[in-house]
Structure 1
C-alpha cells in the first residue's frame, strides 16, 4: 500500500503555508501505519485537523507526507485474530458517501496504537470527524455543538439523551440496580458507534435496560465539561454548603436564590439537559422500593456528571470532602426541583423556540404506587413533576409527555433578573467557606503534628524503659551467676 494510493499526496497540502489551513489541530500523536508496496509498518506522527488526518515523518516537519479525508469514510477496529501481532489495530475504510476516496486496489488505511487507551482516544477523535457532519460524533463532543449538528435548539436535548431516557421510563424504572449494574459491553459499544455515526438505533425492549442506562451515563461522563461547568464548580459547592448549614432554620426559597443566580450563568442548553435529567431521576426515586436506587445512590452515580473539579486532587481527604459536597448538590437539585426549575425560561437574548415538545420525557404511570391517596399529596411527596396542559400537538394514543417547557413570563434566566448583591453574596460565601476550610486544614495539620510529637515521646519513653529493663536483667543475671559460683564453692569445700 502506498501513501498516494490511499491518501492525498503531500504536494496537494503543501500549497498553503499552514498544512492545517488555520483550522484547530484537535489531536496529535504517534501511530504505526501500514504502507509501501511491501505493506511494511512505519512509525509516523499523526495530526487531526480540518476534517483530515495528516501524517509526518517527524513532529517538527512543516509539510505532511500525506493526508486522509475523514468525512464520509468510516473507522473500525481490526480484530486481534486478523492482526495477532498488532493488538490495537484499526483501519479507515471508505464510507457509503465517498467510496471513490480510496482506490479499488487499496480501499483501507491501517494503523495501530501502542496501548488500548491510546487506540480508543484516536477512535473517538476520528469518529467525530467522520460522522459529525452527518449529525453523529456526539460522544465526547460539546453539548451545544451536538445540538447544532442535530438541528436542535438550546431548549432541547441530544437525540441519544431523549431516546435512552424515554426508553428507561418505559422499561427500566422498576429495574433493580438501575445505573448500578452493568450492561453487555459489546451491545453498549455497538449502540455507541451507531449513535456516533448519526444513526437512530432501537433499544430492544426490557432486554436492554442496563445497556440503555450505561449508554446514557457514558454520554454524560464523556462530555468535555460537566453540566454545571468547571467555571462555577466552587460557587455551586459554596452555595450547597450554605444550603446544608441553614436548611433547618431558614426558608428554602431564600437559601436557593444564589443557586438560581448561578443557574442563570450557565449555557441554556446545559440548564435544559439538567432539568431533563432531574425530571427523570425524580421518577426513578418514585420506584425506589423496586429499583433500590435511593437519592444517595443516584447522587453518587450522577454527581461527577453534574459537577467535578478541573484539577485532580491527590489528597484522599480532599477528594472525599469534594465528593460529599457534590452529592449534596445533586440531592439539592432533586429535592428542591420545584423551586429551582418551576419558572425556568430561556434568556431574552436567545430566540424563543416553540419546539419544547420535540424533547419530551414520557411520564411514568404512578397509579399503582398509592391508589388511595390524594393525588396532590402524592405528587408532593413523591417529587412527581406536574405536567402542563397538553397542546394539540400530542395525539390521544401517544404516551403522555412531561413538558420541559416553562412559563415564558418568568424572568428567571434573564441577565438582569437578580441584583448584583446576590453575586456578591455568593463570592462572599465562597471566601468564607474557603477560609473556613483553610482553618480546618491548619487545625488538622497542627493536630497531626501534636500526635506525631506525642508518638515520638512515647517511643522514646518505651525505648528508655526497654534499655533500663535490659540493664536490670543483665545485673540480675550477673548476680545470679555470682550466687551460683559461690554456692558451688561451698558445696565443694563441704
Structure 2
C-alpha cells in the first residue's frame, strides 16, 4: 500500500515503497513501513536474534552490494549475505535517509525531554505516521534482541548509542555543533524506549 508524501520516508536514489506488515508479534495492528526496512528487520528477527556481535562486526562489501541490489527489485524471497552484512545494510539504509526517522523539527525537543518518558512518547506520537511506524517497529525489534542478550552480547546502552546516531540525527544547521551533553541526551532518549515495556 502506498501513502501520501507526508507519511513517506524518502531516499535520494529511490522512493521507499510502503508495505503493510504484522507488528513484529507485538500486537495485531498492521504497520505501514518502507519495504526495505521491513525486509532487513524481518530477516534479522528470524535469523539473527541470538547472533553474537550483531551491529558490531562489519559486513563485506560484496555482500552489501548484493543486498542493496536485491532490495532494489521487488520483494525478494530471501536476502543474501551473512547476518552481519544484513545488519550493516540496515544501518547504512537508516543513515542514508535524507530526513531521519525522528524528524529534524523535533530534534531539539527530543533532547530537551529525554529525561521524561511521558514527554518522549508524546513527541513520538507527533511524528508523521510512517516515521512513527518505523520508530515503533525498530524499537520493538531492538527490545526483542535484548531478550537474548546473554547469547548475542548486546546491551541497551550500546544499541541506544548506535541507533541514536541514526534515528535522532541533528539537523544540518547543528551538525558539528553538538556537545557531549547533547549526544548523551540523544542516547538517553532512545535508551528509555529500549528499556520500557512498550513505546505507546
Q: TM-score range by the shorter chain?
A: 0.7 to 0.9
2:52 alignment counterpart: 176
Higher alpha-carbon Rg: 1
* CA gap 1:259/1:183 in 2 versus in 1, 3 angstroms: same
CA distance in 1, matches of 2:79, 2:176: 40
Deviations 1:239-278 (A, max 9, x none): 114x2xxxxxxxxxxx51x223322321011111111101
CA distance in 1, matches of 2:20, 2:51: 31
Deviations 1:434-469 (A, max 9, x none): xxxxxxxxxxxxxxxxxxxxxxxxxxxxxxxxxxxx
TM-score, structure 2 normalization: 0.80
Moved over 6 A (4+): none
CA shift, 1:312, in A, is 4.5
Deviations 1:138-164 (A, max 9, x none): 75468xx523xx565993122222222
1:161 alignment counterpart: 37
Where in structure 2 are the equivalents of 1:80-479 lying within 5 Å?
139-140=11-12, 146-147=16-17, 150=18, 155-198=31-74, 200=76, 202-204=78-80, 208-241=82-115, 243=116, 256=118, 258-310=119-171, 311-314=173-176, 318-338=178-198, 340-341=199-200
Maintained 8 Å contact 2:19/2:34: no
Give the gaps of 5 or more residues in structure 2. 1-9, 22-29
TM-score, structure 1 normalization: 0.34
- 3-state SS in 2 of match to 1:240: coil
* CA gap 1:167/1:199 in 2 versus in 1, 3 angstroms: closer
CA shift, 1:296, in A, is 1.0
Structure having greater relative contact order (Cα 8 Å, sep ≥ 6): 2
Give the gaps of 5 or more residues in structure 1. 1-137, 244-254, 342-494
CA distance in 2, matches of 1:141, 1:332: 33
Maintained 8 Å contact 1:141/1:223: no
* CA gap 1:171/1:199 in 2 versus in 1, 3 angstroms: closer
RMSD of the TM alignment (CA)?
2.5
